[in-house]
Structure 1
Amino acid sequence: MKTRLAVALLLALSAPALVHAAPPVATAAPASVANESAADAAFRAIYEKEWAWRQAGGGEASEDGDAPESAARMPDVGPAAQQARLAVWDGVLKQLDGVDAKALSAVNQVNLAIYRDQVFNLAEEVRLRSYEMPFNSDSSFWSNLSFMARREMKTAQDHRNYIARLNDVPRYFSQQTDNMRAGLARGFSVPRAVLDGREVAISNVADLTDPTQSPLYAPFKKLPSSIPAAEQAQLQAQAREAIAGKVIPAFQQLRSFFLQEYVPKARTTLAAEAMPDGKAFYRQQIHEYTTLDLSPDEIHAIGLAEVARIQSEMNAIIKQVGFKGSFGEFLTFLRTDPQFYAKTPDELLHRAAWISKRVDGVIGRYMTLPRARFTIVPVPPDIAPFWTAGRGGMGTYWLNTYNLPARPLYNLPALTLHESDPGHALQGALAAEQGELPEFRRNSYISAYGEGWGLYCEKLGVEMGIYETPYEDFGRLTYEMWRAARLVIDTGVHSKGWSRDQALAYLRDHTALSEHEVSTEVDRYISWPGQALSYKLGEIAIVRLRAQAEKELGDQFDIKAFHDAVLQQGSVPLPVLEKQIQAFIVERRKG
């Protein structure tokens, strides 16, 4: 979920005065600023002003914890605030249209391409009123509160600000409910077909009788020793009061709305294109998540071709292990044989840690390493039933230990490579360390680039020697098939009239994913149009660019240099990555 911003700062950005707010990571201006041209200076003034405003957030927190500990309110997500944001971003786009790109330095021509697309997507999200559907079967504003509780708080004031945010939850939930009600009224909602059981995460909080059992109370179970004991007791009492008196009742009201109003009135169609302005909405989702302007038909065809290619590689492994049955029978064998499943959550976590340490032993040969490290933790139990198998980012690899018979060990190497190092954890940490890049490149995430890199890392694991058995290599292929099938399913559901059963059958018949994962993943694609397209299209681009670099550079090709060229970009649209790697090839040719 994206950080939500205050109306006051939105209006302030429209005024001549710059909002003075420190970005989340302090950075010195590049040395080249002193000698920059007038065009470069004008462009920098635009993006620095908007970025500082975007990060400041008006003293409010984001629902996923991106705001600083000083935030004392939850975000303003009401329609007036949303339209104020749109006015700001439209104003920025107009200013950018006045920038003479040819007068910019080569570096800023790249920055302009990245920044303009970033602001364009933010504006389109509001313009299409996406905020009226603030959840999907995978992620939600109510579940994301638990991540806010997991941020480090060092001082008593940090904890007081957090308590203030808890006390603001009723107002925040009320705005979200009003937005959802407006979406229902115009037929813009999560499909009814994927809503069964989604109230569980709400009930986990709504049914609490002891506020200390809430995940939101976790920061108060062990307060910093620097806070005096009397003040600790006071903070704990205030937290209990906020959770019991504000948070739990807000969740109870949300559950009533969800079950009594939202579910009964949710649309019975599946396709994004079936909603109001649905074709425009789906095309924008495609653009935002892939950074490409491909049609649904073009993406569907790419998916079918990739499925056919990967199927032949899977068949070769089945032959290698000497299995005599059909492809479907082999999948049943993988899904049911106890040898492929952990018996305890700790066993799954320990195996993931062992894979990560084996990666550590060889990864330095393939890319420059960041200073930051990551940890491995289980997915919180309140969201685990509907979450994906794992998720990673700078600092944390979340591994889902819920329903162990749905978490095959043969998939774990691919999952770990994707979510930790050299995937998301490494990519995010390296991006943050690129001090010469503007903040909007170091501290943002573009799905096609990030997920494309993660999927590429799964394939890179073959060269790194991470897959120890044919079954683990089949797990890698089933993950690649999973991403290829997404291209077919997402476009099938949202543009070609596919049913949920048709999508379930397609994923079930082509991958070794468990039945639990098949259903949760299909529901994710149905309720989150376009996001699933980013992985395979991004990976295809990186694989193609590497093949070109190997061919054109021959003996001059260096795998570590290539990976560094990809990773030092921050997070960029695929067309920008294409141009940057083409420039890398030219430079390497010069020796």
Structure 2
Amino acid sequence: MEAKEHLHNLLNHVWNRKVNRKLSLQLKQGLLVTSLPKGNLQEAEEDHDFAIDSLAVLKKMNKAGLSYEDQLNYAFLQEYLLQESRKVDLWWAEFPVTPYTLYWMNIYAQTLFAPFSFQKKDDMDRYLHLLHEFGDAIYTVLFKLQAQAKKGWYVPIPALPKIIELLIQLQQTIPALLTVTPTRLHRLDKSVSMSFSEQVDQTITNRIVAAYQELLTLLQAQEYQSACPERVGIGQYPGGEEAYRHLVRMHVTYDIEPDKIHLIGLDQVRQLTEKMRTVRESLGFQGSEAAFMEHIKTSGRLYAKSPEDVEQRYHFHLNRLKPLIHDYFHTIPKSIYQVKRLDAAYEASVAYGYFDPPSSTNPIGTYYYNGSGLETRSQLTASTLIYHEIIPGHHLQIGLQLENQQLPAIRRESMELTGYLEGWAEYGAGLPYEMGLAHDPYDWYGRLLHERFIAQRLVVDTGMNVLDWSLQQAKEYMAKTTIESAEQIEAETLRYSTESPAQALAYRLGYLKFRELREKTEKSLGSLFDRKDYHEAILSPGSLPLYVLEEHIDHFIKERTQ
């Protein structure tokens, strides 16, 4: 068998297994869901074993005999399998009860159970089976917490109140999404549907609600809480520092030490603070940064009056960009985009918002924004935020990737390479200002403010997780380097230290890598440099590990200079 055929067989094999084990991919492709992942250690061990076996197969291939495109496929698959091979170590290092790690419960309830269609009796049997498995998955959260405790991993005290509050909310809201009303069963025999409804109600009460209650009982117990550390950061736990280094590598996708990241962050914050001072002076303002923010408040620029006002601001910035986009890109996605407010019930657990990319079942990319607490939620960074989320950020990049039929499915549907995805979104969010849309100095100031917010993450994330920073120290640093409210700073510092350590590093480090590669390309090509060609070279392969992307740009430069 030729190396190409061997590689593509493995790509397809890994992809099919990924689809079979990931609910979001099944729903995205409109497939019939027959089982749910549990998130237990056994699944992590199976993923690890599969990855090790597949890596062994991959290494036996004649890589030198592959075309350039297939060498990219090889590198992508190798990185994916390396990350899968660390599943067991990272399973232990992730608390399963944070707002980020519990979000799957809302996704399951809203996208699988609430819209479930009942056409025949088999659908009722499948629904009951999935409902039981949903209960099993909740109990897995409980069992994981108990197993982690035996290894010395307890949820930090500062994170407990929000976690308990969220679990109480889920216990109250999830059952309503799982309940099956009689109108949904109108196609089925009434006596059968009545019996089915009773079974559903019993399962919800005895399995789902009970599972939430057992979770709450564990976390609220004096025995558990007395063992919880006052400190935050995973470096304090057995094996935590090594796990953090694995997480850095997973999200950033190139090798870099935490202490170096910390120093880069400090330097970036210093540079951006100086740029912000220069903007203030250009406006004739000689006061402090805090005084300038008070000045902006009185101008009405800082806060939106309503969710409709938020959307109007987003659309204003997007509409300004539309006439200029083709000057920077050869290709833009065919899929359209929209901006919508989050369901109010979930706004408390989502800090800002999130982008939901288009798919075969939903061809519209949607940015869901948080429309609550507008009196403390600054809109000064609205332009750079919407450029990050929509165009030229996530929607442009992900849309092109999903529409690229030349890519194998596993690459076309890849959403795990945080360094590339968030790095591109940050790089893309800066392009409108290069296009000349920074004529309003307040918008430019907002961009710099946003960049500094992203840069300070490099400092506090590494600080809390491996450099012995206290939570209070991190909060004080954030208070000096952001305009976030005390509540938001609380949420952000817990996110970096407890919910998803190292994930937030990928935004600024990814951005810096994209800028570095562009500067390298401009310098190497000189008069031959064309920004549209460069962006095509960056975007056409879809998301890649950043070390592979760097090799790809070297290849692009070599081709242009030969």
Q: CA deviation at 1:135?
A: 4.2
Q: Show the 5 A alignment for 1:331-370.
A: 331-334=293-296, 338-367=300-329, 368-370=331-333
SS in 2 for 1:362: helix
Per the alignment, residue 167 of structure 2 pairs with 202
2:401–2:540: 8 Å Cα contact kept in structure 1? Answer: yes
Q: TM-score with structure 1 length normalisation?
A: 0.83
Q: CA deviation at 1:480?
A: 0.6
Per the alignment, residue 81 of structure 2 pairs with 119
In structure 2, C-alpha distance between the alignment counterparts of 1:517 and 1:61, rounded to whole Å? 31
Question: What is the one-letter code of the residue matched to 1:107?
Answer: E
2:363 is aligned with 1:371: no
Q: CA deviation at 1:171?
A: 1.4
The range that moved more, 488-497 or 230-239, is: 230-239
Change (3 A) 1:458 1:283: same
In structure 1, C-alpha distance between the alignment counterparts of 2:182 and 2:166, rounded to whole Å? 22
Q: CA deviation at 1:452?
A: 0.4
SS in 1 for 2:538: helix
2:138 is aligned with 1:173: yes
2:393 is aligned with 1:423: yes
In structure 1, C-alpha distance between the alignment counterparts of 2:15 and 2:88, rounded to whole Å? 18
Per the alignment, residue 436 of structure 1 pairs with 406
The range that moved more, 126-135 or 403-412, is: 126-135
1:307–1:481: 8 Å Cα contact kept in structure 2? Answer: yes
The correspondence for 2:108, drawn from 148, 158, 164, is 148
In structure 2, C-alpha distance between the alignment counterparts of 1:164 and 1:333, rounded to whole Å? 59
Per the alignment, residue 5 of structure 1 pairs with none
1:61–1:67: 8 Å Cα contact kept in structure 2? Answer: no
1:204–1:382: 8 Å Cα contact kept in structure 2? Answer: no
Q: CA deviation at 1:455?
A: 0.9
2:45–2:87: 8 Å Cα contact kept in structure 1? Answer: no
In structure 2, C-alpha distance between the alignment counterparts of 1:325 and 1:238, rounded to whole Å? 67
Question: What is the one-letter code of the residue matched to 1:38?
Answer: E
In structure 2, C-alpha distance between the alignment counterparts of 1:43 and 1:149, rounded to whole Å? 37
Segments of 5+ residues of structure 2 without an aligned counterpart are: 358-364
Per the alignment, residue 453 of structure 1 pairs with 424
Change (3 A) 1:221 1:498: farther
2:372 is aligned with 1:391: no
The correspondence for 1:192, drawn from 157, 161, 169, is 157
Q: Show the 5 A alignment for 1:172-251.
A: 172-207=137-172, 212=176, 214=177, 241=201, 243=204, 246-251=207-212
Change (3 A) 1:354 1:69: farther
Q: TM-score with structure 2 length normalisation?
A: 0.87
Instruction: Give the RMSD, CA atoms, in angstroms.
Output: 3.1
Change (3 A) 1:211 1:182: closer
1:188–1:267: 8 Å Cα contact kept in structure 2? Answer: no
Change (3 A) 1:222 1:459: farther
Per the alignment, residue 53 of structure 1 pairs with 17
Per the alignment, residue 43 of structure 1 pairs with 7
2:259 is aligned with 1:259: no
Change (3 A) 1:359 1:290: same
Q: CA deviation at 1:150?
A: 4.3
Per the alignment, residue 361 of structure 2 pairs with none
Per the alignment, residue 380 of structure 1 pairs with 343
User: Can you list the C-alpha shifts for 1:272-307, whole angstroms capped at 9, x where unaligned?
Assistant: 222111221111011001111111111112112211
1:192–1:263: 8 Å Cα contact kept in structure 2? Answer: yes
In structure 2, C-alpha distance between the alignment counterparts of 1:278 and 1:319, rounded to whole Å? 45
Question: What is the one-letter code of the residue matched to 1:73?
Answer: S
Q: CA deviation at 1:131?
A: 6.8
The range that moved more, 496-505 or 557-566, is: 557-566
Q: Which has the higher contact order (CA 8 A, sep 6+)?
A: 2
2:460 is aligned with 1:496: no
The correspondence for 2:451, drawn from 477, 480, 488, is 480
Question: What is the one-letter code of the residue matched to 1:176?
Answer: V
Per the alignment, residue 382 of structure 2 pairs with 412
In structure 1, C-alpha distance between the alignment counterparts of 2:157 and 2:543, rounded to whole Å? 35
Per the alignment, residue 7 of structure 1 pairs with none
Q: CA deviation at 1:351?
A: 2.3
Change (3 A) 1:76 1:519: closer
2:267 is aligned with 1:305: yes
User: Can you list the C-alpha shifts for 1:31-63, whole angstroms capped at 9, x where unaligned?
Assistant: xxxxxx712222222222122112123xx7369
Question: What is the one-letter code of the residue matched to 2:237?
Answer: M
The range that moved more, 397-406 or 72-81, is: 72-81
Q: CA deviation at 1:418?
A: 0.8
1:201–1:383: 8 Å Cα contact kept in structure 2? Answer: no
Segments of 5+ residues of structure 1 without an aligned counterpart are: 1-36
Q: CA deviation at 1:231?
A: 8.2
Change (3 A) 1:265 1:73: farther
The correspondence for 1:543, drawn from 503, 506, 515, is 515
The range that moved more, 187-196 or 560-569, is: 187-196
2:475–2:490: 8 Å Cα contact kept in structure 1? Answer: yes
The correspondence for 1:570, drawn from 526, 542, 546, is 542
2:241–2:465: 8 Å Cα contact kept in structure 1? Answer: no
In structure 2, C-alpha distance between the alignment counterparts of 1:524 and 1:193, rounded to whole Å? 11
In structure 2, C-alpha distance between the alignment counterparts of 1:201 and 1:234, rounded to whole Å? 33
Aligned residues: 543
Q: Show the 5 A alignment for 1:460-479.
A: 460-467=431-438, 469-479=440-450
SS in 1 for 2:543: coil
2:496 is aligned with 1:525: yes
User: Can you list the C-alpha shifts for 1:339-388, whole angstroms capped at 9, x where unaligned?
Assistant: 42112222213322333333334323322111122332223334322422
Change (3 A) 1:154 1:565: farther
In structure 1, C-alpha distance between the alignment counterparts of 2:555 and 2:259, rounded to whole Å? 31
In structure 1, C-alpha distance between the alignment counterparts of 2:20 and 2:306, rounded to whole Å? 43
The range that moved more, 340-349 or 260-269, is: 260-269
Q: CA deviation at 1:325?
A: 1.7
Q: CA deviation at 1:322?
A: 2.5
Question: What is the one-letter code of the residue matched to 2:239?
Answer: D
Question: What is the one-letter code of the residue matched to 2:413?
Answer: N
